[in-house]
Structure 1
């Protein structure tokens, strides 16, 4: 299993090792001891899965505020996605910046997005299945979001405006300029950021 730090070092791209033969392949998609070594000590409490019928489905950008912040370990089980993590930790040197990774059934990669990031993805194929482990339970009263196509974030989505399939809730998310200070201290271990 290979762990790669992206341009925002707290976000990890994980590539499992595949062992294949005439039957197909086997791979470990999660190994607690290695994950802890690279990402720190996080307990996963819930697994989620989404199915998107068409290419161009956008989900996000989502996050939860204190005290119910979530880290997410994201994997694409069928199809392909462009996965996005936006740093919303006030005081972080990468505050307001984002990283992306293509996750697919073919490449088997996972993306670790720690607490303090807004997360979203866009499907690149029809019939896409995405699963992710989270470090806290879904909490409607702590659920927040950012506008997926906010020009201030400058995310290079693989679709044009008007080509997306997106929920009404996500169409009405606030802009980054209106972000509430929900992760106010970068470097505070309670927020999942490095001390």
Structure 2
């Protein structure tokens, strides 16, 4: 193991970075050094720029993959090698913003009409009309319809909690 690699691993361990993060950073720095056939200590901002161009144009990697390599190189040069470069000299690629797919009215109607169960169709129609996300609709359905309601000795409605216990009658919503 080279002294530079050992030093970088120590710097990452001091910062309590995950094992996978450490491994990924080391792999990125090795690939960078192999690309130029020189140690990273001999390379500078122009080589980093050329490497980023190589990753995006020649290898056709996505912005997130280039970001991983850029983050590893930023860590190497800023923390391990303590170079006095500005962060702006090692730019992070911008991730493209993708707009969500919006269905036409006909597509929505076709989808809703294809559902056989009246109950499921009604639930999906309400969720769609309210503009709920899938996670919100799922949470509300789980919370509202899946937990059986019980009546306590005092006559208050209680929801059955996990583990068979009951929630406080004062906190449970009344029917």
Q: TM-score, normalised by structure 2?
A: 0.20
Structure (1 or 2) with the greater helix fraction:
2
Larger radius of gyration between Structure 1 and Structure 2: 2
- Greater relative contact order, per chain length (Cα 8 Å cut-off, separation 6+): 1
Q: TM-score, normalised by structure 1?
A: 0.19
